[in-house]
Chains A and B, each alone.
Chain A
Amino acid sequence: MTRFQSILVPGRGAAPADWLATALQARLHMLDAGSLRHRAVLEAVAEYDADLVVLEIVGATLQGSARRVARAVVESSEVPVLLVQAGETPVLPWRRVIVPVSGRPEGDTALEFAAALADALDMDVIAAHVVDPDTGGDGLEWAARYADAPHHEYPNQLDEFVRRALPHCSAAERHVVREVVLCHGEPAIELHKLVALRDASLLVVGWDEHLFDDRSVVLDRLLSGVGCPVMIVKPAARLPFRLNVGDDVE
């Protein structure tokens, strides 16, 4: 039994949903188009105990009610949302999933989710750390720094991205992550290039608190021209932890 047993499709049907339900042996729940209101979708998520919501978006970006629904589902129910662009013919079955990682919790969660999905669907996972030179230090999250000798630190740091995201996997199980790549450039552009280069079927990204902000352009840049469905996953709460040292450390 996989962790994906119930898939909810509000609004118009989305192409990969049928295939996903079959491949995952999951129940597929369709809501009529009039139900694309976030409260109704949230109620349906609870009613059907959905593990995944598939949402079709029209146009290059996520706007209007679809944005509100996606936001409500991810932020309130914490169920992942799969965004599929209308009119796009999916290449099925999915073979490869790309996950941007940075050492932050959202990247960890996305990679962990992608690994589980890949295991269920017999896909490969590629983790990608995209370094944005234009944001300088701002673009470097706390866990994504590299130090000292490149040939000693950088590969290990990349490896650590995988290990920390998949803490419950053995070394053998972690091999579902076939590649960890380091890219250099504007993140959305680099990810799009990687999707095309690797012929990826899916991009899984971790949610952060600004992802759905109206002023945030990250999601729109990501969706615009990506060429494959995009899954958004919310990080799980961190476990209580404390290192009792010093006065103000930790």
Chain B
Amino acid sequence: MAAAPYPAMSGAAQSFEMEAVIFDLDGVVTRTADLHAAAWKETFDTFLERWAAERSTPFVPFDLATDYLAYVDGRPRFEGVRTFLRARGIVVPDMAEEGGGDLVLDIGERKNDEFLRRLRRDGVTVYPSTVALVEELRRHRIRTGLVTSSRNGREILEITGTAHLFEAVIDGTDLDERTRGKPHPDAFTRCAELLDVTPSHAVVVEDAVTGVAAARRGNFGLVLGVNRGDHHAALEAHGADFVVDDLAEVDARSLDARFRECREEAAWHVEQEGFDPVREHAMESLFTVGNGYVGVRGSPDTLWPGSQGDLFVAGVYDRKHVDRPYSEHEFLNIGGDSLHAELVSAPFPFRLRLSVDDLAIDAVGAQTRSFRRTLDLHTAVPVTEMRFAIDDARAVTMSARRCASAAERHLLLQEVTIHLENHAGTVELDATLRDPDLTANHPHLVPLPARAPAGIEVHRYRTQASGYEICIATRVTLAGAGRDSVYWQAPAAPGKALTFRRYVAVYSSRDVDDPVATAVADLEARSWDDFDGAWRRHEARWAETWRHADVRIGNGYPTEQALRFNSYHLQSTAARVPHVSIGARALSGRAYEGHIFWDVEIFMLPFYLHTDPAVARNALMYRHYTLDGARQRARDFGHRGACYAWESTVTGEDVTPRTIRLKTTGREIPIFTGTQQIHVTADVAYGVWRYWDATHDHEFMRDYGAEILFETARFWVSRSTRGPRYHHIRGVVGPDEYHHSVNDNAYTNWMARFNLQQALAAAAWMQREWPGAWGALCERLDLVPAELGAWREVAGALYCAAPDKRGVIEQFEGFFDLEDYPLPAEERLQAPVHRLFDWDRINRLKLIKQADMLMLPFLFPQAFTDGTLAANYDYYEPLTDHGSSLSPAVHAALAARLGRREAARRYWRQSLWLDLSNVMTNSSLGVHPACMGGTWQALMFGFLGLRFDETGPVCAEDAARRLPDPWRSVSTRLLWRGRSYPVEVTR
């Protein structure tokens, strides 16, 4: 049904962000609620009177004040009948059962007949304020729709003369299995489809709690409740963003203002509705809390059997062992053995067992009626709200919040509130952190005895091989009880919620000599009076974080939301202590075993440099801390200097396996990265230089950075071989891991040359600025002037391929001669598993896993003209399957610079939403912080074309033109050499 054209508003056009408004009919547009209510009462009373007489029970009439609103209002007719009869204890067979639907059908049809009789007899009135609002919206060209459960919806619109007001109508005749009635969101989302708007760009106006709940579930941008009776609070409780008594209280402009506010607020939250065990592990990753020292996956407080509620302590690793695998299904790793091969998982520190009236309740139990989990990105606090129905007469709600304190890195906080909605009963809470399946769930830990003072529960563990100790201690109280215990049994009643509070202290022997004594002292020093203060300190620290970590996108709320989500994880996992760095999945999952890769220096470091340089410094201090391991590794290869491990953990030794063996077939697949992906050494040096350049932290360079640059420069001189004209680096794997044993990889050689150049620059700087420190360092490293000459010679003669006549730089020697491979579109970003089996064949193909040569213009934009960049982008991009999450962001940045708007937008969105939409289907294993860092870089250095000069950050002249639709602007603040600068680009 198409609405009649409406005259547009004259004069200056008002810019609205809401694109459509969808109205409920009964109670919003028309005053049919009275007719419906009267028809329901007439019909039900007739039935109930007969029912009571047949059973000799008292007749209890249908109550318009309670029964109508609770069981019937807003629901599809037959569903309303069923719900009310069930509430009265009248067993209603399923409609599908023989004869089962007769009773429901009969009552429903009678009610409809009665309603139509009254409608035709008495007519129906409309709310003039609603009609006025709809007309105003139409004049502003805002689309309007109508949704009603009534099968008479269209007839009522015709009778009332309002049909022309709505471009799309869904009524009860449109409902079926695919378009279910309220409280399902289907009818609203279908209406939005008909209006050609996404729900988040639309407003729903509803007067029934079921309708409000449906719109909330549908993720509509704004849900406006109309309180026609006395259910203001109920409308808010079910999801109305705000409530009015009549639509005369709003106009198009004020409604749009509310819509903007809601959208803006929604962009600070990530919300999950419903609990799906299949998706739960991915949700646990997304809702991880962390502070750089600890990370805790976002499992529900009431753990369920399949939960992977891991606690990770940064820097605590243990030996991988076939009998203590995380996941040794099918694959055996051979080589890479180490005392510190695998990040250790410890028991979940928010574990609760909750029962009401002796019945255990949890997220996956049959009693669970609703589950909502919301991550407030502002405060870094996830809140879980669950509602349980023990039976028809006993409903329970539970709300829980938690955090890993950003202000006190050894502290975790948890608060749980239990409310018995409609009955008095006994609540039992068991908050012990003892894991009954410790061996199976956390195989690296051996429990040790620990003495604990009264009121504090202490768990002490030692890792099996590496011998680290971890202590997790907790105090729990019931608010108002005045004592501490992990076991509580307390009476509760409606209006008397029980609130439990928990402190958790986590220490490891990597930080303190006696983790137990330190944890106990920590908790003993805490007062419950300061519990809220501890939350406030945490929130204040995050508020400070967002000063630089936040990016505002004009007219881009969803993008803001995703960027904040990424920044949240980058900050949650940030290296807060100097001896640890950031693993490939941070502290959010077991995948990659917590190993440290080039991801940190190349993909994450720039984010920290300009938002929180102390983190960047810590990440580089880890490289200094592991320098001895890198030296040993160079010696193991027969070279000088320091060669960083492709995968490292505690000491700097390489923990990459040499081979994997499939158990089923015995087939072995070699892993070349550990021995050949040596560019990581130059990547570390690049990170040192970039940190120095961005911060002018000269003390760092003098005391730590220069040593890294010198030792890595030594390695490259030793690792390169001299040819007739050039020095060469042979037998490597570049970022593109599909090709092994290649010579003169463009990325590796370029980065090695840069490493040598920066070592020479740092040496000159030290000689000039810090001659004493220079002399001491030379003595300690046995560095003589002639060695600098060797660096200079290799830097000047290291083979770095020039562009050919097409402008293309060969990725490595002989790449152009490889066999062509027509890459199917479906294999992009979804590398098929047979890549694993075909590794040797792939080595001979022009098939690239991730940006390799294209990394160079990404990292050194000024070194490549647009023409050279275009030639290389056009050559390599079609050959790349993006088998790594790191690849799309690089392509997005380069495409943005080249003005390839569609490609830039597509790649950037893939990168931006990688975890929130589970693009690579592996977010259950942990989030992808390097991808998040790459996404941020693509925005800053690609779309904005940002560079820094002596005045601070400078955006590209054409930055505004690079912005994707529908953005109007990008603004943020960045740190550069100790000062904070605003950055803003407006289209």
Q: Which A residues contact B (CB, under 8 angstroms)?
A: 103, 105, 108, 131, 133, 136-140, 142-160, 162-164, 166-173, 175, 179-184, 238-250
**4 further A-B pairs in the complex, CB-CB below 8 A; given A168-B277, A243-B271:** A147-B883, A151-B671, A158-B327, A164-B278
- Name B306's contact: one of A103, A140, A168, A182 (CB within 8 Å): A168
Stretch at the interface among B660-668, B699-707, B756-764, B771-779: B660-668
Is B122 at the interface (CB under 8 A from chain A)? no
A95 to B273, CA, bound (A): 41
Residues of B within 8 A of A243 (CB): 270-273, 283, 286, 916
Of B448-456, B590-598, B807-815, B953-961, the segment with at least 4 beta carbons within 8 Å of chain A is B590-598
Q: Smallest Cβ distance from B268 to chain A, in angstroms? A: 12
Evaluate contact between A169 and B924: CB separation under 8 angstroms. Answer: no
Partner of A150 from the list B219, B266, B270, B836 (CB cut-off 8 Å) is B836
Q: Is the CB of B274 within 8 A of A156?
A: no
Interface size class of B (residues with CB under 8 A): 35 or more
B281 within 8 A of A: yes
B833 part of interface (Cβ distance < 8 Å): yes
Give the complex CA separation of A138 and B827 in angstroms. Answer: 9
B129 within 8 A of A: no
B832 contacts chain A at the CB level, 8 A cutoff? yes
Q: Is the CB of A250 within 8 A of B330?
A: no
Of the candidates B281, B304, B333, the one whose C-beta lies within 8 Å of that of A151 is: B333
B542 at the interface (CB under 8 A from A): no
- Which of B's residues lie within 8 Å of A, judged by CB? 198, 200-201, 217, 219, 266, 269-281, 283, 286, 304-306, 308, 326-331, 333, 364, 437, 440-441, 558, 561-562, 565, 584, 590-593, 595, 656-657, 660, 662-664, 669, 671, 673, 737, 824, 826-827, 830-834, 836-837, 883-885, 913, 916-917, 920-922, 924-925
- Contact yes or no, B834 A131, CB < 8 A: yes
Interchain CB contact (< 8 A) of B217 among A105, A242, A250: A242
Question: How far does the Cβ of A114 sit from chain B's closest Cβ, in whole Å?
Answer: 16
Q: How far is the CB of B970 from chain A (nearest CB, A)?
A: 18
A240:B834 contact, CB within 8 angstroms:
no
* Nearest A residue to B278, CB-CB: A164
Q: When the two chains form their complex, are residues A155 and B331 in contact, meaning their CB atoms are under 8 A apart? A: yes
Q: Specify which of B330, B656, B827 is in contact with A137 (CB 8 Å cutoff).
A: B827
* Chain B residues, CB < 8 A from A249: 558, 913, 916-917
CB distance from A184 to the nearest CB of B (A): 5
Rank and list the top 9 A-B pairs by shortest CB-CB distance, nearest first: A137-B826, A167-B277, A171-B440, A180-B329, A159-B327, A167-B306, A241-B276, A241-B274, A246-B558
Say yes or no: A172 contacts B270, CB within 8 Å: no
Among B269, B327, B737, B831, the one with the most A-chain Cβ atoms within 10 Å of its Cβ is: B327
| A181: nearest chain-B partner, CB-CB | B664
Q: Which residues of B contact A180 (CB under 8 A)?
A: 329-330
Bound Cα distance A173, B440 (Å): 10
Instruction: Please determine whether B330 and A242 come into contact, CB atoms closer than 8 angstroms.
Output: no
A246, B279: Cα distance in complex, Å: 18
Inter-chain contacts of B561 with A (CB < 8 A):
245-246
B436 to chain A, nearest CB (A): 9
- B925–A160 CB distance below 8 A: yes
A contact face: mostly helix, strand, loop, or mixed: mixed
Name the residue on B nearest A132 (C-beta).
B834
A residues within 8 A CB of B330?
154-155, 158, 179-182
Q: How far is the CA of A143 from the CA of B198 in the complex (A)?
A: 26
Docked-complex contact B219 and A242, CB < 8 angstroms: yes
Residue of B nearest to A159 (CB): B327
Residues of chain A lying within 8 A (CB to CB) of residue B565: 245
Which B residues lie within 8 Å of A105 (CB)?
278
A191 CB → nearest B CB, Å: 13
Whether A167 pairs with B331 at a CB distance below 8 angstroms is no
CB–CB A171/B558 < 8 A: no
Contact pick for B673, options A139, A149, A159, CB 8 Å? A149
Q: How far is the CB of B795 from chain A (nearest CB, A)?
A: 31
Bound together, the chains give a CA A243 to CA B198 distance in angstroms of 15
From A136, A171, A246, B437 is in contact (CB under 8 Å) with A171
Given contacts A245-B558, A247-B201, are A182 and B305 in contact (CB under 8 A)?
no
Q: Within the complex, what minimum Cβ distance (angstroms) separates B304 from chain A? A: 7
B638 to chain A, nearest CB (A): 25
Contacts of A181 in B (CB 8 A): 329-330, 662-664
Nearest A residue to B590, CB-CB: A156
Would you call B663 and A179 a contact (CB within 8 A)?
yes
Does A167 contact B278, Cβ atoms closer than 8 Å? Answer: yes
- State the CA gap A151–B658 with chains docked (Å): 10
A155-B329, A171-B440, A244-B219 known; A137 and B673 CB under 8 Å?
no
Q: By the criterion CB–CB under 8 Å, are A163 and B281 in contact?
A: yes
Report the minimum CB–CB distance from A232 to chain B (whole Å).
Answer: 20
Q: Are A140 and B836 in contact (CB under 8 A)?
A: no
- CB B704 to nearest CB in A, in angstroms, measures 29
Given A140-B833, A152-B584, A242-B217, is A160 in contact with B924 using a C-beta cutoff of 8 Å? yes
A172 to B833, CA, bound (A): 29
* A242 CA to B216 CA, complexed, in Å: 11
CB pair A154–B331 under 8 Å, yes or no, is yes
Q: Which of A133, A239, A248 contacts B275 (CB 8 A)?
A: A239
Distance of A249 Cα from B913 Cα, bound (Å): 8
B737 to chain A: which residues have CB within 8 Å?
149
A155 and B277: CB pair below 8 A? no
Contact assessment for B925 and A156 in the assembled complex, using a CB-CB cutoff below 8 Å: yes
Bound state CA distance, A150 and B669, in angstroms? 9
Report the separation of the CA atoms of residues A142 and B885 in the bound assembly, to the nearest whole angstrom: 16
Could you tell me the distance in whole angstroms from the C-beta of B836 to the nearest C-beta in chain A? 5
Say whether B827 contacts A136, CB under 8 Å: yes
Partner of A168, one of B305, B331, B834: B305
* Residues on the B chain within 8 Å of A240, using CB: 217, 273-274, 276
The answer for the CA separation of A163 and B916 in the assembled complex, in Å, is: 20
Which one of A137, A146, A157 has the greatest number of beta carbons of chain B within 10 Å?
A146
Q: How far is the CA of A58 from the CA of B51 in the complex (A)?
A: 55
Residues of A contacting B836 with CB < 8 Å? 146, 150, 154
Closest residue of chain A to B336 (Cβ to Cβ) is: A151
Least Cβ–Cβ distance between A138 and chain B, in angstroms: 7
From A136, A139, A173, contact of B305 by CB (8 A): A173
B591 near A156 with CB under 8 A, answer: yes
- Across-interface contacts of B673 in A (CB, < 8 A): 149
A179 and B833 alpha carbons, distance in the complex (Å) = 19
Instruction: Please give, as numbers and ranges, the residues of chain B lying within 8 Å of A147 by CB-CB distance.
Output: 830-831, 883-885, 920-922
Q: List 30 A-B contacts (CB under 8 A).
A: A108-B278, A136-B832, A137-B827, A144-B833, A145-B920, A145-B921, A145-B922, A147-B921, A147-B922, A149-B592, A150-B331, A150-B669, A150-B836, A151-B660, A152-B584, A152-B592, A153-B925, A155-B328, A155-B329, A156-B925, A159-B326, A159-B327, A168-B306, A180-B330, A181-B329, A242-B274, A243-B272, A245-B558, A245-B561, A250-B916
Q: How far is the CB of A3 from chain B (nearest CB, A)?
A: 15
- Closest chain A residue, CB of each to CB of B664: A181
Q: In the docked arrangement, what's the CA distance between A180 and B327, Å?
A: 10
Chain A residues near B280 (CB-CB < 8 A): 167
Residue in B closest to A157 when the chains form the complex, CB atoms: B922
